[in-house]
Structure 1
């Protein structure tokens, strides 16, 4: 495998960053109203408030692209961490109920308590993701055999279904607030105020950086708890830190983009097939690939039924469902 060499991995990292930049500029130029790359560049270098192109980029498309980058990167990294923590290749925030729990708390409080603050949504999403994650982990651990990959997948499916049913019940009861929260259920990266999004950027970056710092410990943890303890690792602390990172990144992504599934499942496997299992490379590359994939999914959503748009959560589900079935089939054949 050529990519086992650090120089090759560095080249892949640089190429991935260039692809992300291309996808980012495509996101702010392509759509129902097409804008040239030249005008896109001028919107940042020399902003003209009289130019329709500049106003569209600065007021709508820039925030949309930034949100897609943050959500895609956060979901991908949380998927990597969750798969490492549970040693389950099917693990992801959407499948394990973390997203569903975060969506439920946001819909509940926005419908009955008229909460509209994005910062408040972040905390609500964190609480909902924490409760869902704890329930899945608790249910998956019941029994004499303890936690197992199959049991935790079944627990995640059950908790996801439970919270989605609760969410639908809340929406039926509070129909007058349906339009304001519907995009959290379907998933969307549009309609965010850039002034509210920008202060959150450092928090997402900090979470990803912490995950990268923890990469060497994750590599050791994958050898097994006994081996990790023998090498001086405090496995309990590492697992708690990883759980907090998963909940923070997944909950924050729901607060910004709603229920966008399968990014956390697909991206880690795609990156792993290229650079292997070393999390020092796997985590940063997953962040770049996750951001790029969600930007491209957003572009596809704009053009499928133009002039209307398909919710981005639907687009990622169409891409991710066959991938999930492939992984499940592959795992069944190995079993």
Structure 2
């Protein structure tokens, strides 16, 4: 057998080994997520007995301990869904823009959703869960288009630095508008400010159910965009040469990310930096192939948000720290580190 004929065989063996390694990492993440779910149900501001945990999982709330566990169950479910949505949305946004600084919070998408919800509450007395979701998705979409348009102006088009600066400026402006609308409304100011921090406390299945269809569509559209994102990573000209409709591919992938961000913000408030940290960490494990990166980012996001929620519950017992604060403490130094690496031009 010649050396030339050995090359395809060697490549296939390396590819199988690489996929096997990635599969093991994926299984490890799934096991970690399961362990964190168990920890989230059992750990909190109140210590509960194992018998109360088992009884609460069976649907009983006959004691204070069982009631405490029954509150943690929907909270755990929401943390998993929100973390997976934000991790996946961050990976999509980084792939669509070829921007390692892309994140739903940094690009102003979350704050756009937040502004739309607050506008609906203040000006139109919006109170339904469906109204919150539709307003958040509309706000997220408009904010994404606005930031990308501003970041595309001038020489060089939409560079990572220009997008990050446009997103940061937009977030500050939208945040100021939210404060300006909320200040005269003392009756809702406390609730809005608490929601703006971002958290999963107080979750109920009644709050989760309305966002499930939007999250489901967002997950499906985003995961099906993996191959298109791989083509876009080669550059627009190469992707077009491969037969990819570049504008349509970007629009479809962005639509999935906007659905995920909007639905999550509607129920949890704007949680920042998770969509920045998770995709970068996952790339270290599986590389840049979006067929692996996207599911890894979803699982990694769920793990990080669950871990942040557990830490927030036990760090200042009997009080709690919202997950939005924990993710900011983790994500802000990570953001500075990425900027200082001098690799902010393109992925």
Q: In structure 2, do the counterparts of structure 1 residues 39 and 7 end up closer, same or farther at CA, with 3 Å as the change threshold? A: farther
Structure-1 residue corresponding to 2:321: 310
* Pairwise CA distance, 1:36: 4.3
Structure-2 residue corresponding to 1:196: 207
Q: Does structure 2 retain, via aligned residues, the 8 Å contact 1:187–1:258? A: yes
Matched, 1:208 2:219: yes
Select the residue among 33, 44, 51 that pairs with 1:20: 33
Matched, 1:235 2:246: yes
Structure-2 residue corresponding to 1:9: 22
Structure-1 residue corresponding to 2:234: 223
Q: In structure 2, do the counterparts of structure 1 residues 266 and 38 end up closer, same or farther at CA, with 3 Å as the change threshold? A: farther
Equivalents in 1 of 2:261, 2:145: separation in Å?
14
Q: Does structure 2 retain, via aligned residues, the 8 Å contact 1:103–1:184? A: no
Matched, 1:151 2:162: yes
SS in 2 for 1:9: helix
Q: In structure 2, do the counterparts of structure 1 residues 238 and 318 end up closer, same or farther at CA, with 3 Å as the change threshold? A: same
Matched, 1:55 2:67: yes
Structure-2 residue corresponding to 1:80: 91
After superposition, the C-alpha distances for 1:59-107 in whole angstroms (9 at most, x for unaligned) are: x211111111111111111100110111110110000000111111112
* Pairwise CA distance, 1:332: 6.2
The structure with more radius of gyration: 2
Structure-2 residue corresponding to 1:133: 144
Q: Does structure 2 retain, via aligned residues, the 8 Å contact 1:96–1:160? A: yes
- Point out where structure 1 has 5 or more consecutive residues left out of the alignment: none
* Pairwise CA distance, 1:7: 0.8
SS in 2 for 1:173: coil
Equivalents in 2 of 1:113, 1:26: separation in Å?
41
Structure-2 residue corresponding to 1:252: 263
* Pairwise CA distance, 1:278: 0.7
Question: Number of residues paired by the alignment?
Answer: 333
SS in 2 for 1:307: coil
RMSD: 2.1
Structure-1 residue corresponding to 2:186: 175
Structure-2 residue corresponding to 1:97: 108
Equivalents in 2 of 1:208, 1:276: separation in Å?
21
* Pairwise CA distance, 1:55: 2.8
Matched, 1:294 2:280: no
Q: Does structure 1 retain, via aligned residues, the 8 Å contact 2:218–2:257? A: no
Matched, 1:282 2:293: yes
Equivalents in 2 of 1:53, 1:3: separation in Å?
49
* Pairwise CA distance, 1:112: 3.4
Equivalents in 1 of 2:16, 2:195: separation in Å?
38
- Point out where structure 2 has 5 or more consecutive residues left out of the alignment: 1-13
Q: Answer with 257-266 or 194-203: which moved more.
A: 194-203
After superposition, the C-alpha distances for 1:20-76 in whole angstroms (9 at most, x for unaligned) are: 1111111111011123455434433x3323243333333x21111111111111111
After superposition, the C-alpha distances for 1:283-328 in whole angstroms (9 at most, x for unaligned) are: 0111011011001101111122221112221111111111001001
Select the residue among 129, 144, 169 that pairs with 1:118: 129
Q: Does structure 2 retain, via aligned residues, the 8 Å contact 1:254–1:260? A: yes
SS in 1 for 2:120: helix
